[in-house]
Structure 1
Amino acid sequence: MKKLYFYLPFFVLYFGYSQGDEKQLNSIDEELSFYLLDTELGLSNNYVNNIVQDSLGFIWIGTPEGLNRYDGTKFTVYKKGDLRENQNLSNNFIRQLSLINKGKLVIATDEGLNIYDPRKETFEILNEQNGLIGNNISCFEFGAQSEFIVGIYDRGIQIIDNNNKSTIYSYSPDNISSLSSNKITCMARQADSLLWVGTKENGLNKINFKTKKVTRILLNKNSDVSSLQVDALYIGKEGNLWVGSNEGVHVLTHKGNILRLKKSLIEGNGLSDNNVLCFEEDNLGKLWIGTRNGGLNIINKSEFLGQESNFSVKWLLPTDDGSSIFNRTVSALRRDRDGNMWIGTSTGLNFVNPNGEPVRLLKKNIHAYIA
């Protein structure tokens, strides 16, 4: 029996598996064990907006009250005003995180983009003073040529190329070929030429970089595009676009079809809640779906996309015993490089191993030991 120890604050977790038994538990009906990290253990705020992992294995967490780095034993918190000049966040409300070259961390805040250099421990600020059309950054992406694509709430999309030349896409009331709204919520780049843009109240848009054309996408046949709030966009491994909205999940397949998954009153028949906030795939072919009021949902992607008769949705509603997530709002999801899932909620950060390995609480002791 090979033993692997994994350490979290206040927890010593044991993952046990036999080298002779390589069976993986692929059913979404397998029992999972969840663990909670919150402000009592050093997180700056219990509402988690975004999660990433860097090349060294650190987990970075964005909250409404600062940036957190988790090293497996403790949190290091970065806030506005904590350090000297050039070593401060411009704002503590963090909406999105992403890693770029040489381990730098890009941070979207309510007062501009921040670029954190961990080697120098400095923050570079990009805001209205040095070229942005607004400071309230809701999301960002990178173009095929490393352009910054910035979603600025109430202003639209700004693309900044390597020569600092800007291209603006925004809403125009007299032009149906403009963005449907300037209230940008999320973006996803697909291949080299397409950018999908979600808005607060006016649905989904597609920007074709080659033709410079903006198309407003109607996801519901019998619904006005303006009624749709898009909160999450995710490009799956097969090239399908998953859209999380206030009307459930819409999937624009690479074949041009639109599939829909909405709330059901019967567990397994549909989502537990129509307000979808985030997506993430695990290593077992399952898609994890975070909702605003219905906890976590897990589906088998191939069964859903194939419209198979045995398709069902696994509901994970909140509990406080570790058998499910700890809160009904799941605002962020991230798979780490070992296949573990990190789940942002409104009451802290949850951790789970989706492989179904026997994760057990061995000891409540802040002093971890190595065996």
Structure 2
Amino acid sequence: MNKLAYALLTCIVILSLSTSCEKDSIRVPVQTIELSASSFTLATDSVRIVVAQLSPNNTTDTNITWTSSNQQVAIVDQSGNVKGISPGTTLISATSPDGKISASCEVDVIKWTLHKGGLGFVEEGINAMALDKEGNIWICGQNVIKLGSQGAWLMNNSNLNPSAITFDNQGFAWIGSGSGLYRYDGSKWEVFTTENSGLKDNSIITLATDNTGRVIASHFNRESLLGTGASEFDGNSWKYYSSANGLVYDNVISMAIDKSGVRWFVTTNGISSFDGEKWKSYGASNVGVAHIGLVHSVAVDSNNNKWFGTNSGLIKFDGTKWESFTNQNSGMIGGSVTAIAFDNNKNLWVATGAGLAHFDGVKWKVFDRYNHPVQDIRTILTTPDGKIYIGTGLGLLIASLRD
């Protein structure tokens, strides 16, 4: 090979290597960042990973930066692992190396505290709860426990085996049991039974009251294992409601009285309402909601809307229109709704077999098996300080949404 040819070949090799290096060093900027979640809930001390999908796929800007807007609530490492620190809300963001492209997701951190046998409890299963005028929480398990800022007190000395509790407009506690209806006025107990009052059956499974002092107790015969209607006491006289005089079905498992004084009875075979004169019954045939058959729970919100928990979802009735919420058409989890409550901000709390859900009228937040320690929820109570008290088969679960 002569010198000219050798020199030419050398130049070609150098140019080729130079071009290759230039190609290898070409920057392909990221154009979009998409996160695997737009929002989620997280328990304190729990970790969940957020994945960032970058586009285009051949971007060279893969070294994104992860940040938390409030590290006292949650922190995130540079692999997208988010850890809950304390109750509150924060934004987790992924940002491109040049800082021009970013994406965020909202994280709500909640603190769970489960009490099993503590706070003076001698049992674990909790069936009902209510809040008195002083802000004390009354809890029905095997016994009646009053829980206040100074501690817990056993409110009965016998094996009452309470099933339901409520407070009337005078602040008196009413407690349903298998041996009658008990009233506590702050100093003494009084019991109403079939022998000394117009109570139809001594076995009581649920209670409802209104601002007039009216008390309604639904019955369940423990021998026949059948519901036996409901008894109402207005302070002077008793009334009895059953399928013989208008109730859709005798097995009443939840009740409420709305702001107009209408009594609502949910049964294992539909819903009944009674305004004091006229009965109405509701089922799949006349409301257009297929899963209205087996109803578990009812609650009335501040706008007098009625909310019903059924075996396959949640139903809202505004007095004219029925609306259905399921895990197919909303952000609610699970199917069977076992408990319903409203907090001071008018937000809805729903318990299902899969966990707990929160609805602010627009957006659902879910507390499932990944960030919620118990699924056996029987009752929910909200308090003015923003805490959620949850009665479960394992004890009392307290949810703190803020410090």
User: How many Å apart are 1:276 and its aligned residue?
Assistant: 0.7
Q: Deviations over 1:262-289 (max 9, x none)?
A: 134xxx9443211111112223442111
| Secondary structure in 1 matching 2:110 | coil
User: How many Å apart are 1:207 and its aligned residue?
Assistant: 0.8
User: How many Å apart are 1:41 and its aligned residue?
Assistant: 4.6
| Secondary structure in 1 matching 2:195 | helix
Counterparts in 2 of 1:298-309, with a 5 A limit?
Answer: 298-301=358-361, 303=362
Match of 2:175 among 107, 111, 121: 107
The verdict on how the C-alpha distance between 1:238 and 1:260 changes in structure 2, with shifts beyond 3 A counting, is same
Match of 2:342 among 281, 290, 293: 281
Match of 1:168 among 207, 216, 240: 240
| Secondary structure in 1 matching 2:125 | coil
- Which structure 2 residue ranges, 5 or more long, are not aligned? 1-71, 74-87, 92-105, 221-226
The verdict on how the C-alpha distance between 1:299 and 1:163 changes in structure 2, with shifts beyond 3 A counting, is closer
Q: Which amino acid in 1 is paired with 2:133? A: S
Q: Which amino acid in 2 is paired with 1:125? A: V
Alignment partner, residue 186 of structure 1 = 254
User: How many Å apart are 1:294 and its aligned residue?
Assistant: 0.7
Alignment partner, residue 322 of structure 2 = 258
Residue 198 of structure 1 pairs with residue 266 of structure 2: yes
The verdict on how the C-alpha distance between 1:145 and 1:59 changes in structure 2, with shifts beyond 3 A counting, is closer
Cα RMSD, aligned residues only: 2.8
TM-score by length of 1: 0.72
Q: Is the 8 A contact 2:128 2:165 kept in 1?
A: yes
Counterparts in 2 of 1:225-264, with a 5 A limit?
Answer: 228-254=293-319, 256-264=320-328
Q: Is the 8 A contact 2:262 2:273 kept in 1?
A: yes
Q: Deviations over 1:82-114 (max 9, x none)?
A: 3xxxxx46x31x222112355421111122111
Q: Is the 8 A contact 2:168 2:215 kept in 1?
A: no
| Secondary structure in 2 matching 1:231 | strand
Q: Is the 8 A contact 1:144 1:192 kept in 2?
A: no
The verdict on how the C-alpha distance between 1:187 and 1:276 changes in structure 2, with shifts beyond 3 A counting, is same
Alignment partner, residue 147 of structure 1 = 214
Structure of greater Rg: 2
User: How many Å apart are 1:139 and its aligned residue?
Assistant: 1.9
User: How many Å apart are 1:33 and its aligned residue?
Assistant: 1.1
Q: Deviations over 1:192-225 (max 9, x none)?
A: 44111011x211111121xx22111125637486
The verdict on how the C-alpha distance between 1:316 and 1:224 changes in structure 2, with shifts beyond 3 A counting, is closer
| Secondary structure in 2 matching 1:290 | strand
Counterparts in 2 of 1:23-34, with a 5 A limit?
Answer: 29-34=107-112
Alignment partner, residue 364 of structure 1 = none
C-alpha distance in 1, partners of 2:235/2:135? 29
User: How many Å apart are 1:52 and its aligned residue?
Assistant: 1.9
User: How many Å apart are 1:44 and its aligned residue?
Assistant: 2.6
C-alpha distance in 2, partners of 1:167/1:98? 19
TM-score by length of 2: 0.66
Residue 316 of structure 1 pairs with residue 367 of structure 2: yes
